[in-house]
Amino acid sequence: MSKRKDSVLVEQISVGQYRNFCYLVGDEPSKEAAIIDPAWDIPKIIRHVNVKSLKLKYVINTHSHMDHIQGNLSIQQLTNARIVMSCNASVQKDMGVQDGDDLKLGSGVRLHFILTPGHSRDSMCVLVNDIALMTGDTLFIGDCGRVDLPGGDASELFDSFKKIRDLDPMLIVYPGHNYGARPCTTLKEQLEQNYTLAKRSKEEFICFMKEP
């Protein structure tokens, strides 16, 4: 699935055995691009890059779970792209970003990083030009990431959801896995329909996330 707005390319690529999505984001005029969460099917991902004659500048991970990062080094070896993760990530990276940091692709694409711990300590979302929000495993379509794995924290996820709720409701939410009825929707639809985003106190949310 590909979407373009002005000079921005956003391509959603289905990969792997766990219904993962990775994302190709690029600036059309300059051909500079980033790949988000490359895991599994590396030849398939590289074909998508080559067909569009893109120059990969960054490999970006929404968090450091293996089903989101295991293609990092293979892609770096092929393209010399820099590996970008949250500053809280303890695995190999070239750049650790803070909450609110930006990177540019060409002159037309801004990647804005929002640290969203909860599913993992190093989870983050990537906002692309106020058009698209890559949420990794922080937020799925109709659900959210689990918090019972090492580094997970329901209290932190509650605070991260507050950041997401404050964003433009017309953003397109692109999750890290194809777990929903559709591969992507607007944030407005998620705020209205995703039961994990329903208004609760922090205490209610923590109890809710502990439910089986």
- Residue 2 pLDDT > 90: no
pLDDT tens, residue by residue, 117-133 = 999 999 999 999 999 99
The gap from C-alpha 49 to its chain's centroid, in whole angstroms, comes to: 18
**What pLDDT is attached to residue 40?**
87
DSSP 3-state of 147: coil
Number of neighbouring beta carbons within 10 Å of residue 165: 13
Whole-model pTM? 0.95
pLDDT tens, residue by residue, 163-195 = 999 999 999 999 999 999 999 999 999 999 999
What CATH number should be reported for the domain holding residue 153?
3.60.15.10
CA distance 177 to 160: 19
Which domain, by its residues, includes 72?
A: 2-210
Number of domains in the chain: 1
- Residue 147 pLDDT > 60: yes
DSSP 3-state of 86: strand
Indicate the residue type of 209: M
CA distance 160 to 52: 34
pLDDT tens, residue by residue, 8-53 = 999 999 999 899 999 999 999 999 999 999 998 999 999 999 999 9
